[in-house]
Amino acid sequence: MSDAADFSLLERAGLPDDLRWLTQKYPRETWQGHGNIHGLANMWLGRHDMFRELGGMLTDGIGNYREGRLAAPDFA
């Protein structure tokens, strides 16, 4: 396995070697039909979508509060 420093999202230039190998062996297009990873792939992709949506909601809410379009009690 690679050094722990390689996993820092702020420091790394791309995927660590082990993860790059997995993406080459199991391309995303094959996940739906793969018996072993289908369920896990769907679960984690759903979580990623949820966090993207939540991030957008937080960004919008903070922007609205900062620009005065949302009062403090409504922001809380």
pLDDT at 11: 81
Residue 4 lies in a domain: no
What pLDDT score does 8 carry?
77
Asked if the structure places residue 27 within a domain, the reply is no
Residue 15 inside a domain? The answer is: no
Q: What is the pLDDT of residues 15-63, one digit of tens each?
A: 889 989 999 999 989 988 888 888 998 999 999 999 999 999 999 999 9
- Per the structure, how many domains does the chain have? 1
Residue 48 is assigned to a structural domain of this protein: yes
Q: Is the alpha carbon torsion for 29, 39, 37, 35 positive or negative?
A: negative
Domain interval for residue 46: 37-76
CB 5 within 8 A of CB 11: yes
pLDDT over 80 at 9, yes or no:
no
Whether residue 46 is contained in a domain is answered as: yes
**Residue 2: per-residue pLDDT:** 52
Six-digit token string for 48: 């990623």
| Domain membership flag for residue 41 | yes
**Residue 13 falls within a domain, yes or no?**
no
Q: Which residues, at least 6 apart from 64, have a Cβ–Cβ distance to it below 8 Å?
A: 70, 75
Whether the model clears a pTM of 0.95, i.e. scores above it, the answer is no
